[in-house]
């Protein structure tokens, strides 16, 4: 989707310091990806305490099998 936006130059400059992006397009894409991933993680946190595991379920044993 093509769109025109006005970006805060100071914020863009600071974002480039923390990114490997070479262009503003890459920077905006990375920022959007990180935003979506962050929101998905927040949604997972909403499930805390709402999932009941089976008796005897050992999540640590699953890690050791690899």
Residue whose C-alpha is closest to residue 34's, from 21, 23, 47:
21
Q: Is position 59 within any domain?
A: no
Q: Is position 7 within any domain?
A: no
Q: What is the DSSP track for 28-57?
A: HHHHHHHHHHHHHHHHHHTTTT--PPPTT-
Q: Is position 42 within any domain?
A: yes
Domain extent, residue 27, equals 20-47
Q: Is position 29 within any domain?
A: yes
Number of domains observed in the structure of the chain? 1
Residue whose C-alpha is closest to residue 1's, from 23, 32, 22:
32
Q: Is position 5 within any domain?
A: no
The model's pTM: 0.63
Per-residue pLDDT tens over the stretch 6-46 = 999 999 999 999 999 999 999 999 999 999 998 888 777 77
Question: For residues 11 and 27, what is the distance between their CA atoms, to the nearest angstrom?
Answer: 11
Q: Is position 1 within any domain?
A: no
Question: For residues 66 and 63, what is the distance between their CA atoms, to the nearest angstrom?
Answer: 6
């Amino acid at each position: 989707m093509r769109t025109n936006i006005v970006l805060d130059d100071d914020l863009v400059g600071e974002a480039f310091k923390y990114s490997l992006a070479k262009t503003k397009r890459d920077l905006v894409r990375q920022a959007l990806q990180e935003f979506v991933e962050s929101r998905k993680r927040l949604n997972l946190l909403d499930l805390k305490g709402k999932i009941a595991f089976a008796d005897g379920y050992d999540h640590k044993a699953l890690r050791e099998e690899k």
